[in-house]
Structure 1
């Protein structure tokens, strides 16, 4: 009976060691996969130049703000130009209308002068 217990105990110990080794192997494989994924992620986010990414983004945002400010100035300038062009157009049309009226008003005078000189 004592031999059977030792044999059974030895078998159980060998089985437990085998299970432990398998668990460690699986854990090592999982860790290896995680290590590879971490390296891929690091390659994608690693800063390969001398400036800090945050500083670079701040600089880009500052330049974008400058571009937006410039566009807003251009919009104001264009609005002012449209208003000036509209005013000039209204004045031109008014002058053209007055000129047409003047021409109409002077037709009888021109006709009378032609009759007298003609």
Structure 2
């Protein structure tokens, strides 16, 4: 065997090893991307992103509803405080009226 033949065999051997390693790497990537899914990974990601966008939109509406509820509760507190003041005022006047009849 000549030196050129030896070099050619070595180059073919190195090339075959590089192809084997690349094939192993590609198989590993394919397993991580496709696994056993029946659908395309990109389609799955698009569906997840759509759902996340819907959740974010709903959170905004939820925040608006909470703000309206807070405003309603504040208004109720103001009305209750007003009703309490009026009730106490009537109670004081009634006590004074009753006291005027007691000798």
Q: Structures share a fold, TM > 0.5?
A: yes
Instruction: Quote the offset at 1:77 in angstroms.
Output: 1.6
What is the RMSD of the two structures over their aligned residues, measured on CA atoms? 2.9
Further displaced range: 34-43 or 70-79? 34-43
- TM-score (ref. length: structure 2): 0.72
Higher relative contact order (CA 8 A, sep 6+): 2
Structure 1 residue runs without a partner (length 5+): 1-5, 109-118
Q: 1:99 aligns with which of 83, 94, 100?
A: 94
| Structure with bigger gyration radius | 1
- Is the partner of 1:77 in helix, strand or coil? helix
Q: 1:85 aligns with which of 67, 80, 84?
A: 80
- TM-score (ref. length: structure 1): 0.65
Shift in CA distance, 52/16, structure 1 to aligned 2, threshold 3 Å? closer
Report the number of matched residues.
99
